[in-house]
Structure 1
Amino acid sequence: MFKMNIKYIVLMFFSYIFALVQGGNLPYRIFHGLLLTFLISLLYILFKPKNIIVQLKFNKAVYCTGDNHEFTTIIKNYGIIPAPYVVLKNKTLAKISPKYIGDAVWLGIDESKWLKTIVRFNSRGIYNFGEINLSISDLFSVFERSKSMNLSFPVKVYPKIYELDKFLIKGSDIFKNAVSSKTTIEDLYSTKDIRKYYQGDNLKRVNWKVSAKHGELYVRDLDTVSGEESNLFLDMSKDNFFNDNNEMIEEQLIDLCVSVVNYMELKGIKVKLFINASIERRFEIDSRDDFGELMEFFITHKSDSEKSFAKFLNSNSTKIPKLSWLGIICIGVSKELKDILIVLKDRGYNITVFYCASELNDLSNLDILKRVGIDCCSFNEIVNKKESRVRK
């Protein structure tokens, strides 16, 4: 794109009119000087952009949400004439950081500049940092020429996988108990220990001899074996993030989901994940390759479902045998979702709710679920934010 300084053109035009009317050497010398500057600037702007080269430098091409990293842009002048005013703007950086407005540099003969910017990846996705707009002006600012460049520099940002730090609810491991209690067939498990009974434990696991001896209920703590299955439901409803301008809540939800799935896959528990998206998706994660496919899905899909999560959960639960364990991953619990979960609990399902909103205005629905024996735990309760890992 080509731009001319209109004020300069008007000045040159009036200098020409003044020379014609006034006559004499001085008016014409003024006009000729302006005209010569115009021609030199025109030749400069036509050929100079070919001598300006841009390169990009990232230490790696894969990141996680929440990562901070230094991004370097190298701009070099290979010409024998200085470039007095060069403005470089990275389109992707402008989208990520509202404060970024570009960089203006002076480039001497055969000089290069390294422009460093700290990038924080708040949202997952594929970012092409090669989309650059370059503007070059001549020394007199008569002309400005812009060109768009695409250096094809893609960077993938995956959801962050947190180490699960606190999975103890009332002294019991919710995964161990939830998955262990999904069936009444005791042959699938081996007794690990004896512990006190906690509200929500399966009464079929009560050790009556030990309970009678101590005067209170004790249950068998069971180890699950490889090959067990779990059922997770993820709410990717669009309405959940209506006011989530920075996408922070949505990213926390997806981080929670992949952290839970990663934990269970590493424990040898097969995961069936039902996703309430615009096009309903179902993943079966039984290996690291399966988990990798799930991660690829999340970097290209945002929350876009217009269907009620409660209705989605109710319809899909019919495909799952009763007494199975259901893990619900959501922002918070609405009245409609609370009612459905209570119905599913009455049908015999063992349920754990994972919610990620750190500040909820209404916690009453969660309190009701806890009173009926449904475990509820928040993102901040179960993750260790000091340490994280990504295994693919």
Structure 2
Amino acid sequence: MSFLLLFAVMSGSRELYYLFFLSLIFRVSMSMILRHNFKNIFIMYYTSANVIEAGDDIHIEYKVSNTSLLPIPHAKIEFFLSDKLDTESSLKEIAYFKNYQMINFSKKVKCPYRGYYKIGKVRVTLFDPMMLSSRVIAFDKEIDLTVHPKILPIHILPMDTRDIHGTLKSHRKTVEDRTNIVNIRPFERGDSLKNIHWKLSAKLDDIQTKEFEQTLGARFFVILDGSMSQFKEGMTYYDEERMVSYCATYVKYALENNIQTKLMLTNKRDMLIEGKDSNDFEKILEALTGFESNGEAQLINHLQHVISRNGTFSTCYLITYKLSSELVAFLQRSRREGLMFKVAVFKAKASTSPALLDLIENAHFDVNFVDKELIFNE
């Protein structure tokens, strides 16, 4: 149009002026139609569930409406999901809307990994009838989706809860020594509200929580390896999911049988959570849902400190990806000190060196190489 106007001025041709004004009217008309359609496109979406387990499917239903008298000849609709969510459906649709028409889109989404997600974000690109210009509208009203770790049927994971490593030194319940604060850190999901440090929270304008020294031992103590170095050893997000699912199943079983339980997460959050019955499983489930293997310290660096500060217990279950020579050496030292461990290893037994396997067998360590097919039974 700029060149057309330039030639019309230079030549003085009336026809070129007519052509320029016709083009201008046409272009303005296209823009007005696009602007009108932009104001009259609406979208609603909802999910079949908001809380599911890892491995389950959900359905997201989208309803896109054109509420104007004019049709929308060209529209591109893009649906956004987290990289950890999987769908066989296309996340991009091309649509034509008649006047006052609603079009439904359905997406089946598989959720293989636990976590807290935001879903439903949609971007619609509208074009004018001649596709000369476009406008983008983003619908950012996201829906919260919680994917908990998969709880396995207990007949797949038989658990011996007898005190096979000796008796308890104390039969009282685990308690916190509220006179001895060992740490103050930012408040996280699953923390007890009664432990909030209100004065410091007001001063920092951020909620802080207190951690107290644990005075007595639990009957069942679970340690979940959260060191990021496991990824360098070949661990995948799928392996991490299996470990968390295994851990959640054991802890739930213990709490449902009223077994005093502690769970230690050795990742960056370094959480210690206690429970005595099934009512306490919800806070543990929340912590495991948000668990990530992002700890910078090695597992061995955590273990001795964890054991020394957490009193006595009858059974300690360590869940890790790989059996290393350092871990076997720690098991040997612990046995000499009277501490016994059960260990669940998720890396294939065939990838473990024969020397380590012989050492485990000769020392009669309680090490279980968890079978992938047994865990998920898919």
| 1:253 and 2:228 correspond | no
Mapping for residues 153-302 of structure 1, pairs under 5 Å: 153-167=143-157, 175-177=160-162, 179-183=163-167, 229-242=219-232, 247-302=237-292
Q: Tell me: CA distance 1:359–1:44, structure 2 relative to 1, closer, same or farther (3 Å).
A: farther
1:239–1:306 Cα contact (<8 Å) kept: yes
Moved more, 286-295 or 241-250: 241-250
For 1:122 and 1:181, locate their aligned partners in 2 and report how far apart those are by CA, in whole Å: 36
For 1:359 and 1:105, locate their aligned partners in 2 and report how far apart those are by CA, in whole Å: 52
| 1:375 and 2:366 correspond | yes
For 1:38 and 1:145, locate their aligned partners in 2 and report how far apart those are by CA, in whole Å: 15
What does residue 56 of structure 1 align with?
A: 45
For 2:16 and 2:349, locate their aligned partners in 1 and report how far apart those are by CA, in whole Å: 74
Q: Tell me: CA distance 1:50–1:320, structure 2 relative to 1, closer, same or farther (3 Å).
A: same
For 1:243 and 1:104, locate their aligned partners in 2 and report how far apart those are by CA, in whole Å: 44
What does residue 220 of structure 1 align with?
A: none
2:154–2:249 Cα contact (<8 Å) kept: yes
For 2:25 and 2:18, locate their aligned partners in 1 and report how far apart those are by CA, in whole Å: 10
**Equivalent residue of 1:176, what SS?**
coil
Mapping for residues 1-392 of structure 1, pairs under 5 Å: 12-24=1-13, 26-92=15-81, 96-97=85-86, 101-167=91-157, 175-177=160-162, 179-183=163-167, 229-242=219-232, 247-319=237-309, 324-358=314-348, 361-364=351-354, 365-380=356-371, 383=374, 385-386=376-377
For 2:223 and 2:293, locate their aligned partners in 1 and report how far apart those are by CA, in whole Å: 14
What does residue 214 of structure 1 align with?
A: none
Report the Cα offset of residue 242 of structure 1: 4.5
Q: Tell me: CA distance 1:381–1:243, structure 2 relative to 1, closer, same or farther (3 Å).
A: closer
How many corresponding residue pairs? 331
Q: 1:68-99: per-residue Cα shift (whole Å, max 9, x none)?
A: 23222211111111112222223325663498
**Equivalent residue of 2:222, what SS?**
strand
The residue type paired with residue 44 of structure 1 is I
Q: How does the TM-score come out when normalised to structure 2?
A: 0.77
Q: Tell me: CA distance 1:148–1:358, structure 2 relative to 1, closer, same or farther (3 Å).
A: farther
Report the Cα offset of residue 340 of structure 1: 0.6
The residue type paired with residue 335 of structure 2 is K
For 1:280 and 1:44, locate their aligned partners in 2 and report how far apart those are by CA, in whole Å: 57
Structure 2 gaps of 5+ residues are: 172-216
Runs of 4+ in 1 over 6 A off after TM superposition: 243-246
Percent same amino acid among aligned pairs?
19
2:168–2:314 Cα contact (<8 Å) kept: no
Structure 1 gaps of 5+ residues are: 1-11, 169-173, 188-226, 388-392
Q: 1:220-251: per-residue Cα shift (whole Å, max 9, x none)?
A: xxxxxxx9711111101112124879621221
Report the Cα offset of residue 382 of structure 1: 9.2
1:182–1:350 Cα contact (<8 Å) kept: no
Report the RMSD for the aligned CA atoms in angstroms: 3.1
Q: Which structure carries more relative contact order (alpha carbon 8 Å, separation 6+)?
A: 1
For 2:250 and 2:358, locate their aligned partners in 1 and report how far apart those are by CA, in whole Å: 22
Q: How does the TM-score come out when normalised to structure 1?
A: 0.75
**Whose Rg is larger?**
1
Q: 1:127-152: per-residue Cα shift (whole Å, max 9, x none)?
A: 22133222211111222111222223
